[in-house]
Copies of this chain bind each other. A is one copy, B any other.
């Protein structure tokens, strides 16, 4: 294990602009946002979502990204650890899928129109 927690489900808490969020909540949210704050990872999420069946294996993602296979694997691991993707190994291939509601949870914390 390289990272810490199942974060995306821990994003929880208040809409950020309602109450001055504490240090712990801020750290958890920042951890999830750090996972998102990378061009390669954003494109990975986008590619997985747009791929047929909503799932894609590493081999599908290497070429469109233009990055090496280890780098792609690394980014995918970050996204899985952040709770944004799930990894399912079928035979030789590893299939990745969006975690339902994970991105929306982040979005809802950032939304200000909940007043």
Contacts and interface: CB of A to CB of B under 8 A. Distances in A.
Interface of A: 16-21, 23, 26-27, 29-30, 33-34, 36-40, 42-43, 45-47, 49-50, 64, 98, 103-104, 106-108, 110-113
B20 A39 contact: no
A46 B33 contact: no
B112 A103 contact: yes
18 contacts: A16-B42, A16-B45, A16-B49, A16-B103, A17-B50, A17-B98, A20-B50, A20-B64, A21-B42, A26-B43, A26-B46, A27-B39, A33-B42, A36-B37, A49-B112, A106-B107, A107-B107, A110-B110
B21 A30 contact: no
